[in-house]
Amino acid sequence: MKLITAVVKPHRLDEIKEALQAFGVHGLTVTEASGYGRQRGHTEVYRGAEYTVDLVPKIRIEVLAEDDDAEQLIDVIVKAARTGKIGDGKVWSLPVETAVRVRTGERGPDAL
C-alpha cells in the first residue's frame, strides 16, 4: 500500500475531493500547512513597519491507496490541483507497511 501526500493550494481541495471520488477513493485526511518555496509571499504594514510574510497557506492531503492505484491516483491529484502558476505544490508517495481501520481492525486494502 502507498501513502500519497499532496501539498497544494487551499482552494483546490474541493476539486481534488471530487476527482478522487470520481476515481473511487472515498477517504482522505487534510491538515493545514504553510509552504515556503519559489512562490513569494507578500508584504504587510503595521504602524510604519513593513513585514515580509514568506510562508504561503497550503493544505496537506493524505490518501492511503492500494499499490496498483497509486500512480494513477497521483495523476488524478496532480491534475485536479494544477492551476499552472508557481506555488501549485508537490505530491509524493511513500511505501506503507501496515494500514488498519480502527473501527474494525481490518488490515491492508480492506482498511481503506
Long-range contacts of the stretch 48-54 (C-beta < 8 A, 24+): none
Q: 103: left (phi > 0), else alpha (psi -120 to 50), else beta?
A: alpha
* Greatest CA separation for the chain: 59
- Rule CB under 8 A: is residue 51 a binding residue for its own copies? no
The least CB distance from residue 83 to its own copies, in Å, is 8
Which of 10, 27, 40, 68 touches its own copies by CB under 8 A?
27
- Rule CB under 8 A: is residue 94 a binding residue for its own copies? yes
Positions in 30-59 near ligand ADP (CB under 6 A): 35-39, 56, 58
Which of 35, 65, 69, 76 touches its own copies by CB under 8 A?
35
